[in-house]
Copies of this chain bind each other. A is one copy, B any other.
Amino acid sequence: MTGRTPKIALLGATGAVGRAVLELLEEGAFAPAELRLLASERSREERIDFRGEELVVEAPGDRSFRGVDVAVLAAGEEASRTWAPRARAEGVPVVDLSAAFRADPDVPLVVAGVNDAAAREARKGIVAGPCGAAVPLALALAPIHRAAGVERASVTVLVPASAAGREGTRQLEAEVLALLSGEEPEPAAFTHRMAFNVVPQIGSFGPGGATAEEGAVQADLRRVLSAPGLRATATAVRVPVFHGTAAAVNLRTGRRLGAAEARELLRSAPGVKVVDAPAERVYPMPMLSAHDESALVGRIREDPTQESGLDLFVVGDNLRLGGAANALAIVRILTGERGS
- Note all chain B residues with C-beta closer than 8 A to A303: 154, 233
- Note all chain B residues with C-beta closer than 8 A to A235: 156, 248, 250, 299, 311, 313
| Copies of this subunit | 2
Chain A interface size, under 10 / 10 to 19 / 20 to 34 / 35 or more: 35 or more
Cβ-defined partner of A197 (8 Å) among B156, B177, B180, B286 = B286
Assess the B246–A158 pair: CB atoms within 8 A: no
- Note all chain B residues with C-beta closer than 8 A to A281: 192, 201
Q: A154-B250, A205-B279, A209-B259 are in contact. Are A196 and B241 (CB under 8 A)?
A: yes
Contact residues of A between 270 and 328, Cβ < 8 Å to B? 278-279, 281, 283-287, 298-306, 309, 311, 313
The answer to whether the Cβ of A193 comes within 8 Å of any Cβ in the partner chain is: yes
| 4 cross-chain pairs, A with B, having the tightest CB-CB distances, nearest first | A209-B301, A231-B305, A156-B156, A235-B248
The answer to whether the Cβ of A152 comes within 8 Å of any Cβ in the partner chain is: yes
- Note all chain B residues with C-beta closer than 8 A to A83: none
**Cα distance A227–B240 in the bound complex, in angstroms:** 35
- Note all chain B residues with C-beta closer than 8 A to A192: 281, 285, 287
- Note all chain B residues with C-beta closer than 8 A to A205: 278-279
- Note all chain B residues with C-beta closer than 8 A to A196: 240-242, 286-287
| Residue from A246, A248, A304 having most chain B Cβ neighbours under 10 A | A248
- Note all chain B residues with C-beta closer than 8 A to A232: 305
Assess the A198–B286 pair: CB atoms within 8 A: yes
By beta carbon, the residue of chain B nearest A177 is B180
The answer to whether the Cβ of A237 comes within 8 Å of any Cβ in the partner chain is: yes
Q: A192-B281, A301-B208 are in contact. Are A313 and B200 (CB under 8 A)?
A: yes
- Note all chain B residues with C-beta closer than 8 A to A197: 241, 244, 285-287
**Cα distance A201–B156 in the bound complex, in angstroms:** 16
Assess the B285–A233 pair: CB atoms within 8 A: no
